[in-house]
Amino acid sequence: MNITPLQKITYGLYVVGTSDKGRPTGCIINTCFQVTSENPIVAISMNKNNYTHDAIISHRRFSLAILAEESDTSLITTFGFQSGRDRNKYDGRDYTWQHDVPILKGKFSGHIVCELLHVADNETHDVFFARVIDTLPDDGTPMTYTYYHQVIKGRAPKNAPTYVEEEKAPATEAPQTTTSTKRYVCEVCGYIHEGELPDDYKCPVCQAPRSCFKEL
Ligand SMILES: Cc1cc2nc3c(=O)[nH]c(=O)nc-3n(C[C@H](O)[C@H](O)[C@H](O)COP(=O)(O)O)c2cc1C
């Protein structure tokens, strides 16, 4: 099957945050949409292997920080490529608690606080349907998934519903180069580097060391 049309579906990017028995935890998602307008319901798709998945099922509440183009991109590194199983992702971040969920401070397009209504099983992922119980407006320009790919040159890891293996990624995400230019892929996040790799090189998206890069 040609997956190119699937890659034309548009998304935003969000930090979904929740409480893990009082400890803030969360991850990056791109899969969020509004399901109903009156007394709104939203839906998010969560990989069952993500720590945040289990934390939301236990806590039954979560926040969505809508990432803006002006947002600190290290949020994507921390929340999108590391797990709350291994570290406290909110350490060193400015945040408050509201409605018993963490709300990140900084440049965003707004925040949404949600209460879990029900869970739909979809093989590798569960879709969480949730009632919006509060919102906090902000004025950043929403970061689209396309902006993330084309401007930040980021990729999605295996647990993201939109993950694409490097071999199947379209040319727009990995620009054409002359055959003499070496290309390396970061095996952690899929970022593609063109040209020689210095020994002290670190992935600009996920901070993985040079040893995590494989020549294409
Ligand atoms: C751009 C991007 C989009 C992502 N979208 C999703 C998503 O929609 N759903 C999901 O379950 N994981 C998604 N992920 C993957 C999780 O953020 C990632 O697996 C994270 O490390 C999980 O952390 P946790 O174990 O603390 O929950 C995405 C990651 C990135 C970088």
Residue 108 C-alpha to ligand 1 middle, in angstroms?
18
Confidence bin at 172 (pLDDT 50/70/90): very low
Domain ranges of the chain: 10-145, 171-216
Query: Does ligand 1 have an atom closer than 6 angstroms to the CB of 27?
Result: yes
Q: Which of the pair, 114 or 198, is modelled with greater confidence? A: 114
Rounded Cα distance between 14 and 37, Å, is 20
Answer whether residue 85 shows pLDDT above 70. yes
Q: Whose CA is nearest to atom 15 of ligand 1?
A: 160
Question: Which pLDDT score, from 0 to 100, does residue 176 have?
Answer: 40
Answer whether residue 21 shows pLDDT above 70. yes
Beta-carbon contacts of 110 under 8 Å, excluding residues fewer than 6 positions away, are 66, 135, 136, 137, 138, 140
Residue 27 C-alpha to ligand 1 middle, in angstroms?
5
Question: Which pLDDT score, from 0 to 100, does residue 209 have?
Answer: 86
Reported as a single tens digit per residue, the pLDDT across 183-216 is 888 877 777 888 998 989 988 877 788 988 888 8
Query: Does ligand 1 have an atom closer than 6 angstroms to the CB of 143?
Result: no
Architecture, CATH, for domain 10-145: Roll (2.30)
φ/ψ of residue 176, rounded to 5: -65, 140
Query: Does ligand 1 have an atom closer than 6 angstroms to the CB of 50?
Result: yes
Q: Whose CA is nearest to atom 29 of ligand 1?
A: 80
Architecture, CATH, for domain 171-216: Single Sheet (2.20)
Query: Does ligand 1 have an atom closer than 6 angstroms to the CB of 77?
Result: no
Amino acid at position 153, single letter: K
